[in-house]
């Protein structure tokens, strides 16, 4: 599906991640039909070559063979696809049989399979293709993309996904992309939590934070948090990694939903989720997720340093 051989790609959700992803699609020659609940999010694309703004979601669906959703959660994706409260004024009202919805949001894998079954009744396909890498890698098109769905559909989408990501992994049947993303973010959350606790213990014993990070990154304790988050965002207390605490908690709860669906006890995941949820209640869902360390600091002092 080369850019020169297809109609517009629909893209719903022009937020922090959606903006650089749309920009990558436009920069690689794709035409993009845009939609967002906030009309102001579409204004920067007014008059931009290759970008259009259909009046309704049904109109966007009617003009697109492929529609990408990049939204906060699976419930919002469902509303966008079928209309709020069953209004039938969403994407599915316009999409033709054989069209593909690519949900790049971090949605529930269980809900994704239910959504795929509903779409299949209309002859519409679903590929779940969440991403990892954050805004920085969205800007340069180097995201890691985890795609669940029919192998032929994923292969057909590779030129589109390749405009936004450096690596596209076919994870298996529909729903497995979202499962992979939830499990990835569980590991990310657990690693950051463990490293934060270790740093605070070491500092109280007299170790320097920078020294600990250097040693971890040269040793077996290294992880994504020690390699890319501690020195730029946690040690200088900038708390600006660009991913919200509330979103991390949402992804952790999705991982627990997966545990329940598979019958896996996942005791550590449950404890990790409880700690992150307590941090969210203290520092706020809109706080940067690196502020989990600020929350941990408050637990270890008589006062309230996490306020």
Whether the Cβ atoms of residue 284 and residue 245 lie closer than 8 Å to each other: yes
287 Cβ partners below 8 Å, 6+ apart?
239, 244, 245, 280
**Pairs from 72-80 (Cβ < 8 Å, separation ≥ 24):** 72/105, 72/247, 73/105, 73/106, 73/107, 73/108, 73/250, 74/103, 74/105, 74/107, 74/108, 74/111, 74/112, 74/115, 74/178, 75/111, 76/105, 77/103, 77/105, 77/107, 77/115, 78/111, 78/115, 80/12
Q: How far apart are CA 116 and CA 281, in angstroms?
A: 34
User: Is 181 a catalytic site residue?
Assistant: yes
From the candidates 75, 125, 136, 181, give the one annotated as an active-site residue: 181
Q: Per DSSP, which regions of the chain are E strands?
A: 9-12, 32-35, 51-52, 66-69, 100-103, 125-128, 131-132, 143-148, 165-172
- The residues annotated with a catalytic role in the active site are 181
């Amino acid at each position: 599906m080369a850019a020169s051989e297809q109609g517009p790609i629909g893209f719903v959700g022009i937020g922090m991640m959606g903006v650089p992803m749309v920009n990558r699609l436009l920069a690689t020659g794709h035409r993009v039909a845009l939609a967002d609940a906030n009309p102001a999010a579409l204004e920067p694309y007014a008059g931009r070559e290759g970008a259009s703004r259909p009046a309704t979601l049904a109109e966007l669906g009617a003009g697109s063979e492929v529609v990408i959703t990049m939204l906060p959660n699976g419930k919002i994706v469902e509303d966008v696809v079928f209309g709020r409260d069953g209004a039938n004024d969403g994407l599915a009202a316009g999409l033709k049989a054989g069209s593909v919805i690519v949900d790049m949001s971090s949605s529930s894998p269980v809900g994704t399979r239910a959504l795929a079954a509903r779409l299949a009744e209309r002859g519409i396909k679903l590929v779940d293709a969440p991403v990892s890498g954050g805004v920085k890698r969205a800007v340069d098109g180097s995201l890691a993309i985890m795609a669940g769905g029919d192998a032929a559909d994923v292969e057909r989408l590779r030129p589109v996904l390749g405009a936004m990501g450096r690596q596209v992994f076919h994870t298996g049947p529909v729903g497995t992309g979202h499962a992979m993303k939830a499990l990835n973010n569980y590991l990310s959350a657990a690693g950051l939590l463990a490293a934060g606790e270790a740093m605070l213990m070491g500092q109280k014993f007299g170790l320097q934070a920078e020294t600990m990070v250097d040693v971890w990154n040269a040793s077996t304790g290294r992880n994504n948090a020690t390699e890319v988050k501690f020195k730029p965002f946690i040690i200088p207390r900038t708390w600006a990694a660009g991913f919200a605490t509330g979103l991390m908690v949402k992804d952790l709860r999705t991982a627990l939903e997966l545990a329940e669906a598979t019958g896996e006890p996942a005791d550590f995941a449950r404890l990790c989720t409880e700690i992150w949820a307590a941090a969210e209640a203290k520092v706020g869902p809109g706080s940067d997720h690196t502020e989990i360390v600020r929350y941990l600091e408050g637990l270890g002092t008589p006062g309230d340093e996490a306020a």
